[in-house]
Structure 1
Amino acid sequence: MVPMSSDAGGPDATATPSPYFVPAYAQGRPGQRPSPNYAGYPPPGYAPPPMPGPYGYPPPGLPPALKPGVIPLRPLGLSDIFNASIAYVRTNPKATLGLTTIVVVVAQVVALLLQIGPLAATGMLSPTTAGEFGQSDPSQASDSAVIALLLSSAAGIVTTALAGIVLSGLLTAVVGRAVFGATIGIGEAWQRVRGRLLPLLGVTALEAVGATVLIAVAVGVVAVISQIVGGAAAFVAGAVFGLALTALFVYLYTMLSFAPTLIVLERIGVMAAIARSFALVRNGFWRVFGIRLLAVVVAGVVSGAVTAPFSLVGQLVLMVGETTGVMVIAVVLISLGGAVGQIITAPFNAGVVVLLYADRRIRAEAFDLVLQTGARGTVGSTDDLWLTPRH
């Protein structure tokens, strides 16, 4: 059979075809250019590598995946994510436990002052008015005492939420470096994150407003049904709306999991982060939901075990306290237990979210090849590897 000429679109008859094929690592992944280091003709004796194993894992007999930091640069399993979420704390305790301790302690002190101040001003911490504090007869509490309690509780919640936003952003920067085996100081982490605090607050506020609107609409519809049809129909409608809202909140919570991480690591805006989080989670919803749920359960068990002694002692002291000072000590003990629990679990939760995000990019965008570039030291800053191309 006579080979076609090159003019006809076929191979050049004068060229000697290579007996070797271009291996997968030289071809690159779909949508990527072939490796620039591939010369075209392997050396004599070259044997093609075996086919990749399932889910991107190396086949038997090949060296393990490159692991410059806390994770191997390949698709991650559950054990990879959980182990790395603990390992990065051990490798950089100053910027994890130290940073978490600073933020949590400051937030707890501010929240405690916001709570104790109004309570003391209205006499609710005084033993002579203990009934207003809830030990004797809560129904006798004055309107000013109730308002003070509500305002102080709201102020404490807001303070804790703001501290959580700041802390999650700082820990995200720490995990981003730990992927490459690098560490980051507290000052440098703050420098990286402080310009992203406004978008972080924005996405949190948007989520809070959206949840409030959905709840308000559901309550309004149930109230209208109660007025028009009756109490029984309103009860049924309320149950249906409650289940629907729970499912919707779980769905949105999962789909928006990566928005804060994207704001910090990819340095994009609020709406872009929300859209990209949806895109990354869409094809891996149940995996992301399951791992996040398991992480919350693990963190909750650990936190409960740590805070239980503080809470128990604080409640006992609060019940038998006869002076204002003793009651203040009880409140401080309860707050201290919460702070210790958060210091232990916050780095773990942040690590799980960031590493899940990295895993989704590896699976959806072949991001492990990009990470390998940074691991080999061929870029100026590994922080820039997290950025996505702008079109």
Structure 2
Amino acid sequence: MSNPGYPPPYPGDSQSGYQGYPPPGYQGYPPPGYPNYPGYAGYPGYPPPGYPPPGYPPPGYQGYPGYPGYGAPSAGQWGPQALKPGVIPLRPLTMTDILNGAFAYIRANPKATLGLTTIVVVIAQLVVLLLEIGPLAATGEWGVLRGEEASSAAALGSSASGIAGFVTTLLSSIVLSGMLTVIVGRAVFGAGITIGEAWERVRGRLLPLIGYTLLWLLAVAIPVFVVVFVVALAAELSGVVAFILAIPLGLGLVALLVYLWTVLSFAPPLIVLERLGVFPSIARSVRLVRGDFWRVFGIRLLATIVAGVVAFAVSIPFSLTGQILLFGSESTPMILFALVLVAVGGAIGQIITAPFSAGAVVLLYTDRRIRAEAFDLVLQTGAASAPPGAPPGSTDHLWLTRQT
């Protein structure tokens, strides 16, 4: 009869003569309650001698591809937990890490993300709405909104207000993306930031951000103008020739714009976080993306589609109702109400999606630095060495540490 709390008797064998007891010096029995290791014949509930304790991989485990001896990058069953002081673990990121982190930093600091976005977007929408209404109110030609022919004065006023509205929207987007970039940079380390502090950090980077944006618009406008001009010139000669030219030129234009959109993805975060100038940030963005172009393109495209679908779903009730009222009424108050509804729908869509889009780009940039420059070691060292109670901005300088 076996003593409770001890392992079952060793079955023994006829040759050794040890019936019911282990041979002298046998060390194969673990303490009572050791978990079962199926497949160790004859000793259910006990591992073979030398088997590693729970939580470690079995003998011969070769690790996750690219991480010898460790588990998957998501810190799976056999992988050690990566340091995670903020919204992302400080290791190479998966697509899920990037998208979840883009939502997590909003939840971690809603006042500085949603609050900031609301302020900037609402002000911009109000200015654009006033610029749109002003010329129509001055001339009284509200029918222009329903497609009626406008007088020269109304057309000129609408064109001028449209340009002014575009500039306003562009400037507000630059300010908003720059400030959100600073917020994400702090959120990586779990540090908070106020709207005023974010403005102080980004204020000196607005001119480079504006310069980069103008260069981006120029880089888009020139090839578009060239393609349109060539196709229009060919159309004067022959419609068939124009059609034949339009297909390859159109495909080439799309490919060029996709390439530029991808390789220049990180220029704004580089301008803000690494304090680079316009052309150095462009060159560095191209170098970072070049080693993993399709992954950067895929994740950015997915984040853009998610943001677009959410913005459309949120704004469509306001926009649809506004358009119905606009085309179904001739009274000035109802037309104004319809314009306000359309503006409200657009504002709500931007407020919800702008922080997510900015967060996805900055975290994708962080991932590329980790993979290309072992930047996770810099982040881990900085996060681990920060003393308790250190000011939130004590980690901002880590973004300046880069491989030259």
Q: With the length of structure 1 as denominator, give the TM-score of the two structures.
A: 0.81
How many angstroms does 1:239 deviate by? 2.3
How many angstroms does 1:315 deviate by? 1.3
How many angstroms does 1:56 deviate by? 4.1
**What are the residue-to-residue correspondences of 1:75-224 with 2, within 5 Å?**
75-125=92-142, 130=143, 132-134=144-146, 138=148, 140-224=149-233
- Give the gaps of 5 or more residues in structure 1: 1-49
Residue number in structure 1 paired with 2:279 = 271
Q: Given the superposition, is the C-alpha separation of residues 201 and 51 from structure 1 closer, same or farther in structure 2, using an over 3 Å criterion?
A: farther
Residue number in structure 1 paired with 2:303 = 295
User: Do the aligned residues in 1 keep the contact of 2:378 with 2:401 (CA within 8 Å)?
Assistant: no
How many angstroms does 1:213 deviate by? 1.5
User: Do the aligned residues in 2 keep the contact of 1:104 with 1:339 (CA within 8 Å)?
Assistant: yes
**What are the residue-to-residue correspondences of 1:243-322 with 2, within 5 Å?**
243-322=251-330
Q: Given the superposition, is the C-alpha separation of residues 152 and 64 from structure 1 closer, same or farther in structure 2, using an over 3 Å criterion?
A: same
Specify which of 56, 59, 65 is matched with residue 54 of structure 1. 65
Give the Cα–Cα distance (whole angstroms) in 1 for the partners of residues 383 and 288 of structure 2.
23
1:334-374, Cα deviation, whole Å (9 max, x unpaired): 00100000000000000100000000000010000000012
Query: Radius of gyration: which is bigger?
Result: 2
- Give the gaps of 5 or more residues in structure 2: 1-60, 72-76
How many angstroms does 1:62 deviate by? 4.4
Moved more, 140-149 or 209-218: 140-149
Give the Cα–Cα distance (whole angstroms) in 1 for the partners of residues 229 and 309 of structure 2.
36
1:295-324, Cα deviation, whole Å (9 max, x unpaired): 111111111110011112111221232321
Residue number in structure 2 paired with 1:339 = 347
User: Do the aligned residues in 2 keep the contact of 1:122 with 1:148 (CA within 8 Å)?
Assistant: no
Residue number in structure 2 paired with 1:377 = 385
How many angstroms does 1:261 deviate by? 0.5
User: Do the aligned residues in 2 keep the contact of 1:259 with 1:277 (CA within 8 Å)?
Assistant: yes
User: Do the aligned residues in 1 keep the contact of 2:116 with 2:195 (CA within 8 Å)?
Assistant: yes
How many angstroms does 1:325 deviate by? 1.6
User: Do the aligned residues in 2 keep the contact of 1:180 with 1:374 (CA within 8 Å)?
Assistant: no
User: Do the aligned residues in 1 keep the contact of 2:122 with 2:347 (CA within 8 Å)?
Assistant: yes
How many angstroms does 1:281 deviate by? 0.3
Give the Cα–Cα distance (whole angstroms) in 2 for the partners of residues 242 and 267 of structure 1.
36
User: Do the aligned residues in 1 keep the contact of 2:373 with 2:402 (CA within 8 Å)?
Assistant: no
Q: With the length of structure 2 as denominator, give the TM-score of the two structures.
A: 0.79
Identity of aligned residues (%): 60
Q: Given the superposition, is the C-alpha separation of residues 55 and 89 from structure 1 closer, same or farther in structure 2, using an over 3 Å criterion?
A: farther
Specify which of 352, 362, 365 is matched with residue 357 of structure 1. 365
User: Do the aligned residues in 2 keep the contact of 1:133 with 1:141 (CA within 8 Å)?
Assistant: no
1:216-249, Cα deviation, whole Å (9 max, x unpaired): 222333344344x522112211222111111100
Structure 2 residue identity aligned to 1:124:
E
Equivalent residues, number: 335
Give the Cα–Cα distance (whole angstroms) in 2 for the partners of residues 307 and 207 of structure 1.
28
Give the Cα–Cα distance (whole angstroms) in 2 for the partners of residues 56 and 191 of structure 1.
40
Moved more, 364-373 or 61-70: 61-70
Residue number in structure 2 paired with 1:63 = 80
1:246-296, Cα deviation, whole Å (9 max, x unpaired): 110001100000000000000000000000000000011100100111111
Give the Cα–Cα distance (whole angstroms) in 1 for the partners of residues 161 and 63 of structure 2.
59
1:188-228, Cα deviation, whole Å (9 max, x unpaired): 0000000000000001100111221212222333344344x
